[in-house]
Homo-oligomer: A and B are copies of this chain.
Amino acid sequence: MCQLLGMNCATPTDITFSFRGFSQRAGITSDHCDGFGIAFFEDKACRLFVDNQSAVESPIAELIRNYPIKSRNVIAHIRKATQGKINLENSHPFSRELWGRQWIFAHNGDLHDFSPELAGRFTPVGNTDSELAFCYLLEQLVKRFGYEEPSLDQIFDVLIEISPQIAEHGTFNFCLSNGQALFSYAITKLHWLVREYPFKPAQLIDLDVEVDFSEVTTADDRVAVITTEPLTQNEVWTAFKPGEMILFQHGKPIRHAMSEIARLERERLDPSLRRVTLADHY
């Protein structure tokens, strides 16, 4: 399995504090040593750093801990390989261009017997279940909207419909961003919080580091952090409910939905759609 870290902000913000704690889990406080990656959006484009070395040992991770790249949307991932070799092509996050924007995706979980046929518009470069799921999601978006870029709400509607279908194959927790907003979905484990005015000190769990955010922020700042396991010990983290999807924009959740409900509604309208329940996977 792997761990995810996402950040969505009202103003461009650096992630060095959270990443310092998170990257400790790549060998020191946990064993997610099989590569890491982090993507920083700047408007529609993004910088993607990946390495098949652990986030503890990689010189690239060291750069990230020390070089404050400011961004409104960040997705990071530390890998503990379950499927696919430990090489660059299997390192999350994955990226693809769609509608003139980069899209970035990272997955925590493990899918089984998931082998949808893809039309070829998006093809996995590596051989992980995760990149296949990403390509499948994007293909579904293109099937619905063609080459006309839809709104965030329209994208959310498709994701909340498709994600539980993928989750029927296993654990499917993810963070996805197109630089405008950050979509996150959890079947088993994901937590989030929002830091906003009045800011307070925060103390990392994985490292003896504290930052008093009131000293380094302005009233305009607001940051949502999404992560597999809480990163700080003195802040309140909210766990995602199983099947919950949250859309973050401007540093806060702007839309929630429970995929279970959406799926049951579809099945009520068309009983032929009925499949195993999500509960089978717990």
Contact = CB atoms under 8 A, between A and B. Distances in A.
Interface in A76-94: 87-89, 91
Contact of A59 (B45, B67, B95, B147): B67
Contacts of A47: 49-51, 88
A44 interface: yes
A99 B123 contact: yes
Interface residues of A, number: 37
A47 B49 CA distance: 7
A60 interface: yes
A126 B122 CA distance: 21
A45 B126 contact: yes
Given A43-B88, A46-B88, A63-B59, A101 B125 contact: yes
B88 A100 contact: no
B43 A87 contact: yes
Each complex incorporates copies of this chain amounting to 2
Nearest to A96: B97
Nearest to A87: B42
A12 to B, nearest CB: 12
A188 B75 CA distance: 41
A146 B123 CA distance: 13
Contacts of A59: 63, 66-67
Contact of A124 (B42, B43, B100, B146): B100
A278 interface: no
B89 A45 contact: yes
A98 B97 CA distance: 11
A269 interface: no
24 contacts: A42-B88, A43-B88, A44-B89, A45-B87, A45-B88, A45-B125, A46-B88, A47-B49, A47-B50, A47-B88, A49-B49, A59-B67, A60-B67, A63-B63, A95-B95, A97-B122, A97-B123, A98-B123, A100-B123, A100-B124, A102-B125, A119-B147, A120-B147, A121-B147
Given A96-B97, A120-B146, 12 more contacts: A44-B89, A45-B89, A46-B88, A47-B50, A47-B51, A48-B48, A49-B49, A59-B63, A97-B123, A120-B147, A121-B121, A121-B147
